[in-house]
Chain A
Amino acid sequence: EPEVTQTPSHQVTQMGQEVILHCVPISNHLYFYWYRQILGQKVEFLVSFYNNEISEKSEIFDDQFSVERPDGSNFTLKIRSTKLEDSAMYFCASRPGTGTEKLFFGSGTQLSVL
Chain B
Amino acid sequence: RKEVEQDPGPFNVPEGATVAFNCTYSNSASQSFFWYRQDCRKEPKLLMSVYSSGNEDGRFTAQLNRASQYISLLIRDSKLSDSATYLCVVNILWSNTGKLIFGQGTTLQVKP
Q: Residues of A at under 8 Å CB distance from B?
A: 31, 33, 35, 41-45, 48, 50, 55-56, 89, 91, 95, 101-103, 105-108, 110
Contact = CB atoms under 8 A, between A and B. Distances in A.
Contact of A103 (B38, B46, B105): B46
Interface residues of B, number: 23
Contact of B97 (A31, A91, A105, A108): A31
B43 A106 contact: yes
A47 B32 CA distance: 19
Contact of A43 (B44, B49, B98): B44
16 contacts: A33-B99, A42-B104, A42-B105, A43-B87, A43-B102, A45-B101, A48-B98, A48-B99, A56-B97, A101-B32, A101-B49, A101-B91, A103-B100, A105-B43, A107-B42, A107-B43
Contact of B95 (A41, A56, A107): A56
Contacts of B41: 89, 108, 110
B43 A101 contact: no
Interface of B: 32, 34, 38, 41-46, 49, 87, 91, 95-105
Contact of B98 (A44, A95, A106, A108): A95
Contacts of B38: 43
